[in-house]
Amino acid sequence: MSAEMLKGHLDAVLLATIGDEALHGYAIIEAIRARSGGHFDLPEGTIYPALHRLELAGLLSSRWVQPDGGRKRRVYALTDGGRQSLVERRAGWQSFASGIDLVLGSRA
């Protein structure tokens, strides 16, 4: 799958993956791989800058957590703005996808 396809949709993927359960970056990568049915296997160099971007935009908040075993993790959760943005981006995706479907004649 082309690398450019994801552009403009990664934020929605991240917001939806985090959802209600706070997750750290590494776990987000695995969750995306699992929930996408193996479609997406995103590298760290994609995820971490995107998380920082979303936090800077006020859609995510992060805190450092020291688990019993293992090293410190940075855990991300949706803010109120993040939840709202997720709703908008879901609608935006459906609009976009139906437009592409119409043009490609795939699912029309």
Partner DNA sequence: AGTTATACCTAGCAATACTAGGCTTAAAAC
Partner DNA sequence: GTTTTAAGCCTAGTATTGCTAGGTATAACT
Catalog residues that contact its own copies under the rule CB under 8 A.
1-9, 12-13, 16-17, 32, 35-37, 39-40, 90, 92-107
By a kind-dependent CB cut-off of 5 to 8 A, residue 26 interacts, out of its own copies, DNA, none, with DNA
Beta carbon nearer to its own copies, 71 or 107: 107
Residues 11, 56 contacting (CB under 8 angstroms): no
Residue of 20, 37, 39, 45 that binds DNA (CB under 7 A): 45
Q: Strand, coil or helix: what is 76?
A: strand
The secondary element (H helix, E strand) that includes residue 101 is helix 80-104
Instruction: Candidates 40-48, 81-89, 91-99, 100-108: pick the segment binding DNA (CB under 7 A).
Output: 40-48
Size (the chain), residues? 108
Structure tokens that stand for 7 in this block: 């552009």
Q: Residue 37 contacts by C-beta under 8 Å, 6 or more apart in sequence?
A: none
By a kind-dependent CB cut-off of 5 to 8 A, residue 52 interacts, out of its own copies, DNA, none, with DNA
Residues 5, 96 contacting (CB under 8 angstroms): no
Binding positions for DNA, rule: CB under 7 A: 3-4, 6-11, 24-27, 42-46, 48-53, 67, 69-75
